[in-house]
Structure 1
Amino acid sequence: MTTEATATDLQEFTENWREWYRAQEARIADPHGFLAITDLHWLDETSRRFPDAPGAWHTGPDGVVVRLDDGEELVVGGTPVRGEHRFGVLAERGGVDAVWGDAVIEVARRGGHDIVRPRHPDAPLRTAFTGTPAYAPDPRWAVTGRYVPFDEPRPTTVGAAVEGLEHVYDAPGRIEFDLLGQRLSLTAFPGPGAGRLMVLFTDATSGVTTYAANRVLTVGPPAADGTVVLDFNRAANLPCAYTDLATCPLPPAENRLPVAIEAGLRIPRERGGS
């Protein structure tokens, strides 16, 4: 490969990473993204009102219910609702976004619990956001690995950013790869989109230059021979890296890597990063 070709490839690699980074930052800064969350309300059978959402909320065997007072209105699925509205039983990691003026009221289920998380565009955490520090992209952190499927998906219980909460994922397999002279592997969970995988991990930079609890890497569908590419330049932060009002999963114990992966997103400024 010529020097000119190498320079062109590096330029393309860097620009592709910048495009990914810009998309990440846009998602983080979205008017109704996780920086806009103003509180995390855990529901039970007692009907309660909250200062950052309309109505009185409770949950039970038949799911989440809100009772709106006269003059209060939510828009659910494009339809205005007044009085009592039943959201029904929510799927784990599922939810509904109800619109209230310029805010969105997230009604969701996390770790077996129903929650309400209002998202207001003028939340101080969002309006103060100035971007996430990141390592400069470097092709040496994009490594080829091999996906090894399990005979059957393995239910895998992991902790959460919220103490006492647990998440359960059906792990379809693991990814084996070599990095920094070591043979490593990561348990993979189903990712966003058909055939894609997600790995939660920590490494020797965690708590030093990257967020201590977790980072996440999305991996494209494996090739027919199991080949995958792990581009750690695209190791992203989960919402809990920015806010205490998130319920993010922690990596399984086997995904705590002993090497320092100096790639991807770093500790957010909201947590003292630079």
Structure 2
Amino acid sequence: MKYLFTSIILLISFFSLAQTNEEIIQEIETYHASENEKFSTAETTILTEKDFKDFEQLAFYPVDLKYRVEAKLIRTPNEEPFLMPTTTERLPEYVKYGEAHFTLEGKNFKLNLYKSTEPYEESGYENYLFLPFTDLTSGDGSYGGGRFLDARIPEGDTIVLDFNKAYNPYCAYNSRYSCPIPPKENDLLVRIEAGVKNFGKH
């Protein structure tokens, strides 16, 4: 009887996990669809007139939950603000908020997390963190200038990084935009085959 009870609990746990993964995948696919809608709508697109005319949809790597990682968050409260280089002369001010330490494909990695020192015009972004990064797909499948991730400041010391939601800077689509350049310390020596691919190359 004890064995049967344990087996039932394990089965319930398994199906709960499967359902949770299914919900996560649906959330990622919904995000991808919303990005395509934004790019294909005249009022919200950032594409050039020519690219907008020919636009069908963005190219994404297949959703893979391997690239949705739980990272240990180490806060670094005594950092000094700095000016982050961009593709233009614009120099937005950020401060390093902390470090995300995680394991992927059996290797340990670290990403610095940044917070803008400028207040956001829209409410709800007070806990917004910025994660610009490059990886071994940069220039070989994804945009050569790197990609970005968004995250929210968690209450605890664990933060979820979902690379399936990695997106391109605006200047990957239109040269009139100014985009932050990912710092060298955020170069990941692994192929992150998740998120959006390089525009117009597939």
Shorter-normalised TM-score: what interval? 0.7 to 0.9
- Per the TM alignment, residue 150 of structure 1 is displaced from its structure 2 partner at its CA by 1.4
Q: Provide the TM-score with structure 2 as the length reference.
A: 0.81
For 1:15, the equivalent position in structure 2 comes to: 26
Residue 65 of structure 2 aligns with an amino acid whose one-letter code is P
Q: Please, which of 153, 163, 168 is the counterpart of residue 237 of structure 1?
A: 168
In structure 2, stretches of 5+ residues that fail to align are 1-9, 117-123
- Per the TM alignment, residue 250 of structure 1 is displaced from its structure 2 partner at its CA by 0.7
Question: Which is higher, the Rg of structure 1 or of structure 2?
Answer: 1
Q: Does the CA contact (< 8 Å) of 1:233 and 1:264 recur in 2?
A: yes
Distance 2:175 2:87 in 1: 8
Q: Does the CA contact (< 8 Å) of 1:154 and 1:172 recur in 2?
A: no
Distance 1:143 1:156 in 2: 28
For 2:193, the equivalent position in structure 1 comes to: 262
CA RMSD after TM alignment: 2.2
**Superposition pairs of residues 89-104 of structure 1, within 5 angstroms:** none
**Superposition pairs of residues 46-61 of structure 1, within 5 angstroms:** none
- Per the TM alignment, residue 201 of structure 1 is displaced from its structure 2 partner at its CA by 0.2
Q: Does the CA contact (< 8 Å) of 2:63 and 2:194 recur in 1?
A: yes
Distance 2:85 2:45 in 1: 20
- Per the TM alignment, residue 166 of structure 1 is displaced from its structure 2 partner at its CA by 3.7
Secondary structure of the 1:8 match is: helix
Residue 158 of structure 1 aligns with an amino acid whose one-letter code is M
Distance 1:263 1:36 in 2: 22
For 2:35, the equivalent position in structure 1 comes to: 24
Distance 1:8 1:173 in 2: 32
Greater relative contact order (Cα < 8 A, sep 6+): 2
Q: Please, which of 168, 172, 194 is the counterpart of residue 126 of structure 2?
A: 194
- Per the TM alignment, residue 36 of structure 1 is displaced from its structure 2 partner at its CA by 5.0
- Count of aligned pairs between the two proteins: 184
Q: Does the CA contact (< 8 Å) of 2:47 and 2:173 recur in 1?
A: no
- Per the TM alignment, residue 6 of structure 1 is displaced from its structure 2 partner at its CA by 5.3
In structure 1, stretches of 5+ residues that fail to align are 38-122
Distance 1:148 1:7 in 2: 30
- Per the TM alignment, residue 200 of structure 1 is displaced from its structure 2 partner at its CA by 0.2
Q: Percent identity over the alignment? A: 26
Q: Does residue 151 in structure 1 map to residue 77 in structure 2?
A: yes
